Amino acid sequence: MELAESLGATGTVCVVGAGGKKTTLYALANHLDRAVVTATVRIPIFDSRVSRVTVTDDPLAIVENATEWPMGVVPEREGDRYRGYEVETIDELGERTDVPLLVKADGARTRELKAPGEREPQLPRSADTVIPVASAHVVGEPLDERTVHRPERVAALTGLAIGDAVTSDTVATVLASPEGGLRDVPEDARAVPLINKVDDADDERVAREIARGVHERADVDRVVLARMADAEVVDVI
């Protein structure tokens, strides 16, 4: 199945979790005829990933007059990152344009798995699709700050202790939890969990175990296995 279709990338698409959010955003942006990359949280400078990034308080005007795709809009630069828009701005932009919006909606500090903090994720009410991401590479690693963002929250969700080995069930529980990957997903939005970094046969075996666990725990119609660095879907389960 084609990348954008497998992930339900139409309308306002929000990516959360850890282990490949930004890679997923940029892969989708370059597989769609038109797309806007933006954020509701801080996002590293991504000018090289799109045709142009515009810093603006009026993203609608920029999107309506765009001629090169994909493009990015952000409200402000802050050092080596851009700040994100308020969710209400994304709601308004989504209502007034038919260009797909690809939104980074939380942070993970380049870790492989996370559970959201108190004020996360920053999801607009108008989100059509929410993609919770986790990396297959985290399985077998210890539950600590080197590989997991907010490991204490993952421990609380899964019953593991800090330092215990992360298992396939650990990842499935986090992705499927209403306090994890599915936190604050709007009632009308579609959730499409994504297991990333499925780079070899061992990763695929692990990812399939995770996908089965997600389906046992949550009412989602699919789980996508992928290598987003190559913009490649391995399977849809």
**pLDDT in the model for residue 174:** 98
Nearest to 66 by CA among 38, 92, 40: 38
201-219 mean pLDDT: 98
pLDDT in tens, 69-79: 999 999 999 99
Q: What is the pLDDT of residue 41?
A: 98
Mean pLDDT over each residue of the chain, to the nearest integer: 97
pLDDT in tens, 160-189: 999 999 999 999 999 999 999 999 999 999
Q: Which residues pair with 53 in a beta bridge?
A: 72
Alpha helix stretches (DSSP H) within 9-141? 21-29, 59-64, 87-96
- Domains of the chain, start order: 3-236 (3.40.50)
Distance CA 22, CA 30 (A): 12
103-136 pLDDT, tens digit each: 999 999 999 999 999 999 999 999 999 999 999 9
What residues pair up with 236 in beta bridges, in sequence order?
224
The Cβ of residue 217 has, within 10 Å, a number of other Cβ atoms equal to: 17
Residue 1: the pLDDT is 65
Render pLDDT for 130-140 as a digit per residue (tens, 0 to 9). Answer: 999 999 999 99
